[in-house]
Structure 1
Amino acid sequence: MALLDDAIDACGGLARWDSLSRFTLHLSVGGSLFSDAGHAREFKDVTAEGSTRTQSVRFTGITGGEQSGAFQADAITIESLDGQVLRTWRNPSLDFPTNGTHALADELHLVFFCGVQIWTYLTTPFLLARPDVVVEELPPWQENSETWRCLRAQFPSSLINLASEQIFYFDENALQRRADHDLLGARVAHYSWAHENFCGIVVPTLRRTLTRQPDAAVIAKPVLIDVEIFDAVFE
């Protein structure tokens, strides 16, 4: 598909991506979803190390630098800095048992949510080239004075994602600028910009998630999720 090929080439190319297996990020994650759950600073100034090939991310320095959190498809763990497992959630899913509390109130849910989110951020658009992901190009979208090309992606049940169906928007340089889907009962739009080249892979270093209305227009406040990537290494 022409758009997907263009997007992959703009981010470094499939050959470069296939030569990699790991990433390390220095980043901060915040926003009203975190502060409303009582975790305003849980993911501020943390390190994320993960696999480019399987769904796996370890966050070091969460909870004020006192703990680590690990996301894998079959288990979430909270660990001490010396590697002792403090809590485990096996076979996690996005159907969080809230019991009347905020969906991200439990730190295990928070690690799971951030793990899925950051892994998907880092692997897109290469993720869309997987043979089990179904993509379809949609008509162009007008965003302010720009025309963005669009892809609808349907993800398999074997791949943990924030939503099984998402729409990705790419600017005139084929760089991803937005992604729409449902999240925790709300319609959201993830905006991305400030792309930088790290080790031959182009990554948007700023992301912001806003509430999306039925007509796909967005509401500027509150900012649900705010992500800033300070540095990235691929190897």
Structure 2
Amino acid sequence: MALLHDVIDASGGLDRWSSLNRFTLHLSVGGMLFSSAGHAREFKDVTAEGSTRTQSVRFTGITGGEHSGSFQPDAITIESLDGEVLRTWRNPSLAFPEASAPALADELHLVFFCGVAIWNYLTIPFLLAHPDVVLEELSPWSEGTETWRRLRAQFPAHLITLAPEQIFYFDQSALQRRTDHDLFGMKVAHYSWAHDNFAGIVVPTLRRVQTLQADGTVIARPVLMDVEIFDAVFE
């Protein structure tokens, strides 16, 4: 698919991505989804270390720097800084909270949500080349004065994502700028910008999640989720 080829090439190329095994991020995550559940500062100024090949992310410095949280498809754990496991949630994909934002009030759910979100943020668009992901190119979308190309992706059940069907938008430079999907009973749009090159991989360093209206435009407030990546290392 020509669009997917352009998108992957603009983000660093599949050969470069395939040569990597791990990533380390310095980032902050916030927004209404967190503050309304009493976690306004849980993911401020944290480190996320993960695999580029398997779904795995470990967050260091959550809960005011007192704990670490680990996301893997079969288990979520909260750990002390010296590695002692304090709490565990087995098979989290079978019980992902569907009801509403307050479901993130549980710290294990929070680590699960952030683990899924950050891992997918870092592996898209390369994940779209997975043989089990079904893609369809949609008609272009007018965003302000720009025209963005779009791909609809259907993800297989064995890949944990925030939604099994998502629509990705790419600007004239073939960089990802928006993603639409359902979340907690809402339709949302993830906007991404301020792309930077880290070791040959181009990553949007700012992301914002907002509620979508029926016509595809966004509601400016409240901001559901803000992500800022200060630095990224790939190896």
Please state which band the TM-score falls in when normalised by the shorter chain.
Answer: over 0.9
What one-letter code is carried by the residue in structure 2 that aligns with 1:153?
A
SS of the equivalent of 1:114 reads helix
**Corresponding residue of 1:166:** 166
**Corresponding residue of 2:109:** 109
Check if 1:131 corresponds to 2:163.
no
SS of the equivalent of 1:63 reads helix
- Counterpart-to-counterpart distance in 1, 2:23 and 2:150: 27
Contact persistence 2:36–2:101 (CA under 8 A): no
Q: Give the alignment of 1:211-230 within 5 angstroms.
A: 211-230=211-230
Shift of 1:95: 3.2
Check if 1:88 corresponds to 2:88.
yes
- Runs of 4+ with >4 A deviation: none
Q: Give the alignment of 1:1-235 within 5 angstroms.
A: 1-93=1-93, 95-96=96-97, 102-235=102-235
What one-letter code is carried by the residue in structure 1 that aligns with 2:44?
K
- Counterpart-to-counterpart distance in 2, 1:102 and 1:184: 10
Amino-acid identity (%): 79
- Counterpart-to-counterpart distance in 2, 1:76 and 1:170: 32
What one-letter code is carried by the residue in structure 2 that aligns with 1:79?
E
Shift of 1:214: 1.6
SS of the equivalent of 2:168 reads strand
- Counterpart-to-counterpart distance in 2, 1:54 and 1:123: 10
- Counterpart-to-counterpart distance in 1, 2:96 and 2:18: 32
What one-letter code is carried by the residue in structure 2 that aligns with 1:130?
H
Deviation per CA, 1:103-150: give whole Å up to 9, x if none. Answer: 100000000000000000000000000000001100000000000000
- Counterpart-to-counterpart distance in 1, 2:13 and 2:198: 13
Shift of 1:193: 0.1
- Counterpart-to-counterpart distance in 2, 1:88 and 1:81: 15
- Counterpart-to-counterpart distance in 2, 1:101 and 1:74: 23
SS of the equivalent of 2:132 reads coil
Deviation per CA, 1:177-196: give whole Å up to 9, x if none. Answer: 00000001100000000000
What one-letter code is carried by the residue in structure 2 that aligns with 1:95?
F
SS of the equivalent of 1:137 reads strand
- Counterpart-to-counterpart distance in 2, 1:137 and 1:96: 30
Aligned length: 234
Deviation per CA, 1:197-231: give whole Å up to 9, x if none. Answer: 00100000000000001221100000000000000
What one-letter code is carried by the residue in structure 2 that aligns with 1:184?
F
- Counterpart-to-counterpart distance in 1, 2:233 and 2:102: 34
- Counterpart-to-counterpart distance in 1, 2:103 and 2:8: 34
Deviation per CA, 1:30-64: give whole Å up to 9, x if none. Answer: 00000000000000000000000000000000000
What one-letter code is carried by the residue in structure 2 that aligns with 1:17?
W
- Counterpart-to-counterpart distance in 2, 1:97 and 1:193: 28
- Counterpart-to-counterpart distance in 2, 1:125 and 1:96: 26
CA RMSD between the two structures: 1.2
Deviation per CA, 1:134-177: give whole Å up to 9, x if none. Answer: 01100000000000000000000011000000000000000000
Q: Tell which deviates more after alignment, 86-95 or 37-46.
A: 86-95
Q: TM-score, normalised by structure 1?
A: 0.98
Q: TM-score, normalised by structure 2?
A: 0.98
Structure 2: any 5+ residue segments left out of the alignment? Answer: none
What one-letter code is carried by the residue in structure 2 that aligns with 1:169?
Y
Shift of 1:97: 7.6
Shift of 1:101: 8.2
